[in-house]
Amino acid sequence: MGLWEALLLGIIQGLTEFLPVSSSGHLALFTEILGADRLPEENLLFTILVHAATALATLIVFRKDIAAIISGVFQKDDTQARHFIAKIVVSMLPAVGIGLFFEEEITALFGSNLGLVGAMLCITALLLFFTDRTSEKKQSISYKIAFIIGIAQAIAILPGISRSGATIATALLIGSARPEAARFSFLMVIPLIFGSMAKTLLDNDIAVFSAIDAIPMAVGFAAALISGILACTWMISLVKQSRLSYFALYCAVVGLTALFISWS
């Protein structure tokens, strides 16, 4: 993987992880376009690094919220922080279950299947379009809502379904307040990202990474981190302003293009 490939793919991961356009779908599309599948070990390490970068970006953007939650856990009279962490755990259950019991089936979906990516991007477009047209309510995120949002996150494992789009849209359609929906959506994925990274490292021989050029990896990590911070901050603002329909049009165009290419 060259520097320009690493830079471009890092930016794509950073932007699409937070913007509701599906990071997995875009990485699948651009990897095929760039032909960046020459070294499986290199791609594996790169995937781990850019996901670590987006997780770090989330920690940076929500550093005050995370600090308050951690501080609250150690205060006897602060049950709100404990309940929030418990809701995060509840939201993780569907994705963890699917990841553990259907790993092979999920891996098979991430091959050169542009038709699936295109179809799922079109579904994401419809979801975002209708979400922007719902009236805002102020319902707090309960354990039940957290689990439902978790189901949306599990469905978003499919390449082309935006994780942030699916989880935020689900929260809004149920009736959650927009700022709370965005906050919960971004914080709930942090444990899953680190858990997925740990599992990938444990399942693969680390020695195969020793001969990989570190410079493209570092460029990709930095690109994903910087673009991720910008995209996360921007996405929070867009959710508050009900402007997700802009991305609905984008997902529809990209999805239909992918479908056309897969059929041609």
Summary mean pLDDT of the chain:
83
Q: What is the pLDDT of residue 152?
A: 94
Of 47, 9, 7, 11, residue with least CA distance to 29: 9
Number of domains in the chain: 1
> pLDDT of 1-32, one tens digit each?
678 888 988 898 889 888 888 877 776 676 66
Kind and range of the H or E run holding 119: helix 114-131
At a CB cut-off of 8 Å and minimum separation 6, what does 206 contact? none
Q: Which residue has the higher pLDDT, 27 or 118?
A: 118
pLDDT of residue 41: 47
Residues 6+ apart with CB under 8 A from 109: 116, 158, 159
> For position 107, what pLDDT does the model report?
67
Look at the block and give the residue holding tokens 């990516």: 117
What span, in angstroms and rounded, lies between the C-alpha atoms of 152 and 88?
A: 14
**Which residue has 């939650």 as its token pair?**
69
Q: Are 188 and 150 in contact (CB under 8 A)?
A: yes
Q: What is the pTM of this model?
A: 0.84
Rg (C-alpha) for the chain, rounded Å, is 18
Structural domain of 14:
3-263
Maximum alpha-carbon separation in the chain:
62
Q: How far is CA 109 from CA 24, 125, 151, 153, in A?
A: 11, 20, 18, 16
Structural tokens at position 119: 């179809």
Structure token pair of residue 233: 């901050």
> Average pLDDT of 116-139?
85
Residue 85 confidence class, pLDDT cut points 50, 70, 90? very high
Residue 119 pLDDT: 92
Question: Per residue in 217-260, pLDDT tens?
Answer: 899 999 999 999 999 999 988 887 777 888 899 999 989 988 88
pLDDT at residue 44, rounded to an integer: 67
71 pLDDT above the threshold of 90:
no
Task: Report residue 39's pLDDT band, with 50, 70 and 90 as the boundaries.
Answer: very low
Residue 40: band (very low, low, confident or very high) from pLDDT cuts 50, 70, 90: very low
Summarised one tens digit per residue, pLDDT across range 172-196 is 888 888 888 889 999 998 888 888 7
Distance from the first to the final alpha carbon of the chain: 28
